[in-house]
Structure formats: structure tokens, C-alpha cells
Amino acid sequence: MHHFANPTRFLRLADRIQPWAASLTMAFVLSGLYFALLSSPADYQQGETVRIMYIHVPAAWMALFCYTALAVSCAAALIWKHPLASLAGRATAPIGACFTLLALVTGSLWGKPMWGTWWVWDARLTSVLILFFLYLGYMALNNAFDDPERGHKASAILALVGFINVPIIKFSVDWWNTLHQPASVIKMSGPAIHSSMLIPLFLMALAFKAYFVWVLLIRMRGEINAMKVRALRMRQVHDAEQNRSTPVASEAG
Amino acid sequence: MTGTEAYFEMGGHGAYIWPAYGLVFAVLMGLFVASRRFAGRAGREFDALNPRTRRTQEETDEA
């Protein structure tokens, strides 16, 4: 992994991966939408609203995946001072925040016709809302300091403390009485969903995952260039200060 | 009601299903465009400040 800690080497690898991520995103989105909106059947109880599951569940999975990736990069940044880890965290947070927002809103749009309400303060919904605020808090704290290093450090600590929310989200439906249904795909006894519905679900999940890689690489490129710009500006300020102080020193001499 | 109308009606739940899909498309497309712009802007700023690329650019302008 340390081999790719070098930004130039990382960008070279990103150049190779990016077209694949873009192609896979397109392929999975098109095939996923075909199965989700055309080929898969309506549910015997939920009717056509089950089609919201094909975007709601993958978005919720991505919200948790992105936060885990954020926590891992923050840990790497704090413990090993990995040069790209802080930038990976900065690049991941907006993507995770978007997926969390999508999980919340699509869940609400699914909840209204099925539960008769847009929102309830049950453990699953509330903990996902907290996850959304954790993403916003991380991004706000990261940009709150003049010294980017202090911002990286403070926001990394917040992200790591907030990681406790990830298992709470996962097990909230088992630990508490919730209106939200318990797990029906990732469980010990195997998925409780028919394959005609599992196919679009997994295709959309793969589409979101490939999209994540694609956008992450774009944002990483931006973050690396922004870091280089900061370094060049610091050098310019340093050089200007030295040029100003040199004639004074020679006059004094 | 035609077949197409019935399809978009989604058994009376089209008002929930289509906005959900539309929102996913809008948010993911918006994030993609914003990310591309951010990366492009950072790249241009770096090229303008980097002495190596600036020199190459000035030589091209002079030519």
C-alpha cells in the first residue's frame, strides 16, 4: 500500500482505473435499471413500491461503506501519517453524505405509501440521520481551520468517534423495536428475497460501488492538486519574505 | 388507460417511485459534475502556479 502513498504513483494508477470504473458504472446502471424498472415483478404485499428498494437499499449500504472507508482513512492519517489518507477522507465524505441523504429521502418516499408516514423517530431512521450529521460535521470541521493539518486532525478524531454509530445502525433493528424492517439480504440464514428481486438489487449496488470509485478518483485528483497548490503558495510566500529580508540584512551589514 | 400510462402510474404509486429515482439521478449527477469542476479548477490552478508548466505555457504563448 505504501507504494501508492506517493501522489504521482497514485495518480498514474488512478488514470488506469478510472475508465474501467466509468464503464462499469454505466454497464451496471443500465442493466440494473432494466431489471429494477422493467423486468422484475411487483411485490405481493408492497406492490410496485418495492422498486424503491433497488435504490434505497444500495444507497444505505453505500452510506455505511463510505463511513467505514472514511474512518479507515482517518485512522491511517492519524496513526501512520499516510500522505494520501487525509485526502482520501476529504474525498470520501461528500460522496458518503450524498448516499446517506439519498437513503433518507428514498426511505421517506417508500415509507409514506407503506407505513402511512414520511418519518418516525425509530432507532434505524434516527441513527442514519445522525450518520448524515456526522458527515456534515466532518466536512465542516475539516474546513474550519486556517491550518489544514489542524482541520484534518480534528475532523479525523470526530470521524473515528462517530464510527460507533455504524454498528448501531446495522443492529438497531435487532436491538430495538423499530418500524423499519429487519435485515432481509445480509443475514445468517441467507437472503429472504426472491432472486428476481435480488438481481436488480445487486446490480444497482454494484453500480453505486463503481460510481463511488469513479467519483472518488476524480475528487482525489482534485485534492492532490489542491494540496500541491497550497504547497506552491506557501513556497511563494516564503520566497517573498526571504527576498524582503535579504536587502535589509545587507544594509545592516 | 394505455399500457405506457399504466406503467408510469406504477399501480398508483408513481408519485413516490419516480421522484425517488429522479432524486437519485439528480444528486449523483450533481455530485459528479461538482467533482469534475473541483478537480479541473485545482488542476488549472496548479498548472498556473507550477514553474515547470508555467514556463512551457509562456514558451507556447511566445511562439
3-class secondary-structure state, position A67 = helix
Quickly count: other Cβ atoms within 10 Å of residue A230's Cβ: 13
Taking each helix axis from N to C terminus, what angle separates A85-115 and A53-79, rounded to the nearest 10 degrees?
A: 150
Q: Which residue has the higher pLDDT, A3 or B26?
A: B26
Asked if pLDDT for residue B7 goes beyond 80, the answer is yes
CA A125 to chain B, closest CA, distance in angstroms equals 17
> Does A107 reside within a domain?
yes
Kindly state the percentage of chain A with pLDDT values over 70: 93
Please list every residue in chain A whose beta carbon sits closer than 8 Å to the beta carbon of residue B24: 55, 59, 102, 106
Cell 486556517 locates to: A146
- pLDDT recorded at residue A251: 52
| Mean pLDDT of the region A54-63 | 97
Residue A91 has pLDDT above 70, yes or no: yes
Residue B5, pLDDT score: 86
Whether A104 is covered by a domain: the verdict is yes
**A59 burial type by CB count under 10 A (0-12 exposed, 13-18 middle, 19+ buried):** buried
**A253: pLDDT strictly greater than 50:** no
Contact A70, A156 (CB under 8 A): no
CATH of the domain at A126: 1.20.120
Residue B58 has pLDDT above 70, yes or no: no
Least confident of A19-33, A207-221, B1-15: B1-15
Q: Is residue A3 over pLDDT 70?
A: no
pLDDT at residue A237, as a whole number: 86
Please give the Cα distance from A131 to A166 (Å, whole number). Answer: 8
Residues of chain A in contact with residue B13, where contact means CB-CB under 8 angstroms, are: 47-49, 113
Q: Is B22 on the interface with A (CB under 8 A)?
A: no
Residue A101 lies in a domain: yes
Q: Lowest-pLDDT range, A11-15, A82-86, B48-52?
A: B48-52
Tally of CB atoms within 10 A around A81 = 10
* Poorest-pLDDT segment among A52-61, A73-82, B24-33: A73-82
Mean pLDDT of A189-200: 83
Amino acid at A71: A
Alpha-carbon separation of residue A64 from A58, A68, A154, A164 (angstroms):
10, 6, 21, 12
To test the contact with chain B by mutation, choose from A8, A38, A51, A211 the residue with the greatest count of B C-beta atoms within 10 A, namely: A51
As for the ipTM of the complex, it is: 0.88
Residues of B in contact with A236 (CB under 8 A): 49
The pLDDT score that the predictor gives to residue B32 is 98
pLDDT of the residue at A50: 94
Could you list the residue range(s) of the whole structural domain that residue A45 is in?
Answer: 27-171+192-212
Q: What's the CA gap between A212 and A195, in Å, rounded?
A: 25
Is position A245 within any domain?
A: no
Chain-wide mean pLDDT for chain A?
90
Here the cell at position A137 is 460535521
Helix ranges (DSSP H) in A163-194? 165-175
Q: Residue A102 is nearest to which of B27, B45, B50, comparing CB atoms?
A: B27
Maximum Cα–Cα distance across chain A: 92
Average pLDDT, chain B: 86
CA–CA dist A216, B24 (Å, integer)? 18
Tell whether the model's pLDDT for residue A243 goes beyond 80: yes
B23: nearest CB among A48, A102, A229? A102
pLDDT above 80 (res A183): no
**Is residue A89 very low, low, confident or very high in pLDDT (cuts 50, 70, 90)?**
very high
Q: How far is CA A143 from CA A120, A153, A195, in A?
A: 33, 11, 45
Rounded-to-integer distance, Cα A161 and Cα B58, Å: 49
Instruction: Name which residue leads in pLDDT, A178 or A155.
Output: A155
B13/A contact by beta carbon, under 8 A:
yes
- Is residue A177 included in any domain, yes or no? no
Helix (H) or strand (E) holding A47: none
- Does B28 touch chain A if contact means CB atoms closer than 8 Å? yes
**Mean pLDDT to the nearest integer, A6-19:** 90
DSSP A43: B
Q: Is residue A228 part of a domain?
A: no
The number of domains in chain A is 1
d(CA A124, CA A121): 8
Is residue A250 scored above 70 in pLDDT? no
Contact B46 A225 (CB under 8 A): yes
Phi, psi of A47 (to 5 degrees): 65, -140
| Alpha carbons A155 and A93: distance in angstroms, whole number | 11
Answer positive or negative: Cα dihedral of A123, A126, A129, A134. negative
**Phi, psi for residue A46 in degrees, rounded to 5:** -90, -10
A59 vs B: CB within 8 A = yes
Domain assignment present for residue A180? The answer is: no
